[in-house]
Amino acid sequence: MSTPYVLMGLLAGGPKHGYDLKRAHDARLPRAKPLAFGQVYATLGRLARDGLVTPAGQDQDAGPERTSYTLTDTGHAALTTWLATVEPPLPHLTSVLLAKVVVALLVTDISQARGYLVAQRAAHTTRLRELTALKTDPDATLSDVIAADYGIAHLDADLRWLQTTLARVADLHKEIAR
Amino acid sequence: MSILHARGVVRAFGHTPALRGVTLAIAEGEIVAVTGPSGCGKSTLLHCLAGILRPDAGEVIYRDHRIDTLSEGGRSRLRRTEFGVLFQFGQLVSELTAAENVALPLLLAGTGRRAARTAALSWLDRLGVADLADQRPGEMSGGQQQRCALARALVTEPRVLFCDEPTGALDSLTGEQVLSHLVRVARQQGTTVLLATHDARVAGYADREIALRDGQVDPSGFGVEAAIR
Ligand SMILES: Nc1ncnc2c1ncn2[C@@H]1O[C@H](COP(=O)(O)OP(=O)(O)O)[C@@H](O)[C@H]1O
Ligand SMILES: [Mg+2]
């Protein structure tokens, strides 16, 4: 679901071939399922059809492996919108959250990454407070409490991870910029 | 209308700055978490707001009155009558029973023995530990001790309750029980609560959070400015 945006994020640093994109994707998101080449080219095809990326470079007619792609202005705008959109703070969003943070760090504008992380943290804390209120309600049943605990534990884990990530952000950004 | 107000509060320990200009306002009846990593100044802030420590600069205002300029006597009177405190551990007098511990602040304030004991028993009951009235702290679990300490902090019916990592020494379920009691009673009494914690789950019991970073209020919630500079 976030694959198109991860590819666009990788292209934000400059044009790349499909092969380079696959390798960069797998390196950046080592815990995600490795991308199949077919999926890379299919995704690039859809992105190109929608005007978000465009083929670039002299290899244009040499077949998909040799074609390099570049992010269009529309693509940049779509990426910015995606990055600015806070994920609904529910459990099981970890992979989207991870992808977003990684892409936020790829994008050269660091204040955008910062803005996203701050907004995401605020959404998580608000939800955590709501779930806590829910379980401390005098009318809460045991199942309410257990379900709320489940959500709280996951949100807390995400929050601690976001916190650690922020502490690493400066270093990561330096590394990506190299 | 805020009940408690800090303006540019600065406090250092020798050459170590603990608070570097903290400004905040707490509304009456609010439950506010003071969060941030260890060493960011949470305890120092609570101590300054509660009149335990005097700031080096800045103002602390309680109900329109500056308290940072009060004498030691004035501040300790305020702490006895208006404020309650709950720390991580080690607050109960080990030689006294739970009921005697809880009655202590009332006795110090001049309440008669019988009335103090009655009030103590009623608070132990409200916190679900009435059956421990005649036990000494050494015979209680950590969670039971903390509930008694909470009863002792509330027995004078303080307007503001300062809690510094109140569940830091407890396992998570026991900690949750103490927190639910704390929040329930504070809402019933309309008590304003300041809750210092580094744990997001504990902060979840509050209405809002004030995040500290390196002795300053951090509006982002987690020191992003500092992290990405
Ligand atoms: N009594 C003290 N003597 C010397 N330094 C202190 C004292 N109390 C706190 N500090 C220092 O002040 C800073 C803030 O401490 P504190 O308020 O205890 O933070 P927190 O409660 O968030 O962990 C830290 O650097 C700490 O080492
Ligand atoms: Mg502390």
* Rounded average pLDDT over B35-45: 94
**Distance from the CA of B215 to the center of ligand 1, in angstroms?**
10
Nearest CA in chain A to B199: A156
**Distance from the CA of B37 to the center of ligand 2, in angstroms?**
9
User: Between A and B, how many residue pairs show a Cβ–Cβ distance under 8 A?
Assistant: 56
Torsional sign, CA B37, B43, B44, B46: positive
Question: Tens digit of pLDDT for each residue in A47-102?
Answer: 999 999 999 875 555 565 678 999 999 999 999 999 888 887 765 556 677 788 77
Question: For residue B164, is pLDDT > 90?
Answer: yes
Q: Give CA separation, B189 vs B27, B194, B208, B223, in Å.
A: 15, 15, 19, 34
pLDDT the model gives residue A88: 77
Contact predicate B189/B154, CB 8 Å: yes
ipTM rounded to 2 decimals: 0.83
Residue B119 banded pLDDT, cuts 50, 70, 90: very high
Phi and psi at B212, nearest 5°, equal -110, 150
Q: For every residue of chain A, which 3-state class applies, written as one string?
A: CCHHHHHHHHHCCCCEEHHHHHHHHHHHCCCCCCCCHHHHHHHHHHHHHCCCEEEECCCCCCCHHHCEEEECHHHHHHHHHHHHCCCCCCCCCHHHHHHHHHHHHHCCCHHHHHHHHHHHHHHHHHHHHHHHHHHHCCCCCHHHHHHHHHHHHHHHHHHHHHHHHHHHHHHHHHHHHC
Question: Tens digit of pLDDT for each residue in B62-75?
Answer: 999 999 999 999 99
Dist CA A140 CA A130 (whole Å): 13
Q: Give CA separation, B123 vs A40, B98, B128, B153, in Å.
A: 66, 11, 9, 10
**Mean residue pLDDT across chain A:** 82
**Distance from the CA of B66 to the center of ligand 2, in angstroms?**
24
Nearest CA in chain B to A167: B227
Q: Do B228 and A113 touch (CB under 8 A)?
A: yes
Dist CA B191 CA B179 (whole Å): 14
Smallest Cβ distance to A169: which of B200, B209, B228? B228
Question: For residue B229, is pLDDT > 80?
Answer: no
pLDDT the model gives residue B203: 96
A155 touches chain B (CB under 8 A): yes
The residue whose CA has the least distance to atom 3 of ligand 1 is B13
Phi and psi at B86, nearest 5°, equal -135, 120
* Position with higher pLDDT, B77 vs B222: B77
**Mean residue pLDDT across chain B:** 92
**Distance from the CA of A172 to the center of ligand 2, in angstroms?**
30
Residues with CB under 6 A from ligand 1: B 13, 16, 18, 36, 38-44
Fill in the amino acid letter for A144.
D
Question: For residue B167, is pLDDT > 60?
Answer: yes
Question: For residue B217, is pLDDT > 90?
Answer: yes
A173 touches chain B (CB under 8 A): yes
* Position with higher pLDDT, B221 vs B186: B186
Question: Nearest CA to CA, how far is A33 from chain B (Å)?
Answer: 30
pLDDT the model gives residue B224: 45
Residue A120 CB-half CA count within 13 A: 32
B→A interface, C-beta within 8 Å: 180, 183-184, 200-201, 203-207, 209, 220-224, 227-229
Give the lowest-confidence range in A43-57, A105-119, B173-187, B210-224.
A105-119
Q: What is the pTM of this model?
A: 0.81
Question: For residue B40, is pLDDT > 70?
Answer: yes
Question: Nearest CA to CA, how far is B132 from chain A (Å)?
Answer: 24
pLDDT the model gives residue A30: 65
Give the lowest-confidence range in A90-94, A101-105, B183-187, B225-229.
B225-229
Question: For residue B157, is pLDDT > 70?
Answer: yes
Q: Tokens 């700031």 appear where?
A: B55
